[in-house]
Amino acid sequence: MRHLIFLFLCFLSQIVTCQEPFLTFDHTVNTLGKKPTQLFSAVFPENDTFLIFIEDSKQLSVYEFDKNGDEKAQGFSFPNFAKKYPNIGGYTQQNDIYTLFLSTTNKKKWAIVTLDFAYKSFSLEEVKLDIKGDRVLESLTYNGKHYLFTVQRDSSTFEVYAMNPEGGVTTQIFPFEDVEFGEGRRTISNVDRLLHGSFTRDATIIDSDSPISLESSKSRAKFYQDEALITFTIDASKNTTFYLQFDLENNTSSSQTISKASFDKDVISAKSNSFIFEDKLFIFKVSSDEMDFSIFNVDSMENLASFSARKGTPIPFKNTPIIQEGGQLDSYRELEKTSKFLRKVANSNPAIAVFKERDQYIITLGGTEEITNGGGGMFIVGGGLAGAVVSGLVTGIANATFYQYNAYTYTKSARFQMVLDSNLQFVPDAEVPLNVFDEIGEFTEETSPKVLQTVFKLNESYVWGALNPKEKTLNFFTF
């Protein structure tokens, strides 16, 4: 039976070389007759283990595996808390005990769920944070604790709540009252007011370990994590990028402001965004008349390279056509004129995405819009725990790889790609390589939307897995 399923997936993929299967196992936990609705994963690199969760309307079944795909312990189930706590903020592991940090939509109430495979048991600790009028931003995990970032009401002071697996809560204060966030505007006297804009109200955590789509990077308020050092960038202003850093270990902070390019016409339509990759800050500013793309060193803020283009002339630094598509293959078309690209991006959400392939930077510049996915694919979620993982990277980094794969696959955008060498010089004749999400997309192109799927990064590979709700067998493949 498993051999037939593998052959069937190979046939559906329509690629010459079939992917080698990584893991196949049967869903043996008693589901009480309930049909599976979601499939998701959690990876723990420090312990070389990963968990596979199968959700239904009543419970979650969980299985534990080592890095080679060998089952470490027999799976078990625990109640589904998704109705009360629909968001997964993150998870930790210590001494063979796994902890999930779940929250309400507004992140003011949390459920800390611990899983013990030795006893096939779970425990639940509910925590209510003392958040009143503060602006709730994002949460992330570091060193066994889960941290929630907030901004005190009408101020430039960040208050960070740290939750441990036992339910204990401590706070850290990071003041930025000396930073001029308003650029002379009296109505924006602090960071809380700056973040009130529609494009910065929802912050996003960026996971640069996987290819990023424009949909993932469109937010103008982004968090980046490097162990205890957290960087927060704000692009609410078309003239300035605010670069804030928090050291969770030493309870210190710092800030910088980076000026963006000036356009000949200071038009209202000008918008901008930024993206951090490695030790570089990439800034993209665009209006209906012109665009500028600049790269800075994040330590010295030295301008390392700049590229610009205006309407009426071709863009001289692109390696692909200007593509417009709505997340479906039949909506693909190419734009010939620079003016159309500038207008579409200026009227949407400008964004940058960067990844690296063979010492070359593959950069996507463009704009993206919200679209409604009417069917077919993993973007349709039922609001359960896996739904939080898929649609809620905006609300946590529980499975960044899965969210970014979905966003990469179902993005409505106008964009082009460019290739830079290790010295940030444009490579005119370079071909843009397929990234791992392109490969997975080809492999699963004709997979039925009824099949539950997940994607996660394990060691240096990516793993795609699927479960047909009518079957009891799960199949995983490496890329």
What span, in angstroms and rounded, lies between the C-alpha atoms of 252 and 261?
Answer: 30
pLDDT tier at 7 (50, 70, 90 boundaries)? very low
Instruction: For helices 436-443 and 400-409, give the axis angle rounded to 10 degrees.
Output: 70
CB atoms within 10 A of CB 131: 17
Residue 168 in this model has a pLDDT that exceeds 90: yes
pLDDT tier at 405 (50, 70, 90 boundaries)? low
> How is residue 188 annotated by DSSP?
-
The answer to whether the CB of 251 falls within 8 A of the CB of 228 is no
Q: What are the pLDDT digits (tens) for 277-315? A: 999 999 999 999 999 999 999 999 999 999 999 999 999
What span, in angstroms and rounded, lies between the C-alpha atoms of 37 and 173?
Answer: 41
Residue 395 in this model has a pLDDT that exceeds 80: no
How big is the chain by its Cα radius of gyration, in Å?
A: 23
Q: What is the pLDDT of residue 252?
A: 98
Higher-pLDDT residue of 278, 95: 278
What span, in angstroms and rounded, lies between the C-alpha atoms of 235 and 271?
Answer: 9
Q: What is the pLDDT of residue 408?
A: 52
pTM: 0.87
Buried b (16+ CB within 10 A) or exposed e, 325-335: bbbeeeeeeeb
The answer to whether the CB of 422 falls within 8 A of the CB of 362 is no
Mean pLDDT of 219-231: 95
Query: Residue 471 carries which side chain, given as an amino acid letter?
Result: E
Q: What is the pLDDT of residue 382?
A: 29
pLDDT tier at 394 (50, 70, 90 boundaries)? very low
Q: What is the pLDDT of residue 64?
A: 97
145, HSE (Cβ side, Cα atoms, 13 Å)? 16
Buried b (16+ CB within 10 A) or exposed e, 165-180: beeebeebebebeebe
Whole-number average pLDDT of the chain: 85
Name the nearest CA neighbour of 385 among 36, 40, 34.
Answer: 40
Mean pLDDT of 38-55: 92
Let me know how long the chain is: 479
- Please name the residues in contact with 186: beta carbons below 8 A apart, sequence gap of 6 or more: none
Token output for 2: 């498993």
Question: Tokens 């973007």 — which residue?
Answer: 379
Q: What are the pLDDT digits (tens) for 22-41? A: 999 999 998 888 889 889 99
CB atoms within 10 A of CB 425: 10
Residue 143 Ramachandran class (φ > 0 left, ψ -120 to 50 alpha, else beta): left
Percent of the chain scoring above 90 in pLDDT:
63
Higher-pLDDT residue of 379, 358: 358
What span, in angstroms and rounded, lies between the C-alpha atoms of 76 and 168?
Answer: 27
Q: What is the pLDDT of residue 401?
A: 60
Residue 410 in this model has a pLDDT that exceeds 60: no
Q: Is 402 helix (H, G, I), strand (E, B) or coil?
A: helix
Across the strands, what pairs with 271? 286
Helix (H) or strand (E) run with residue 205 in it: strand 204-206
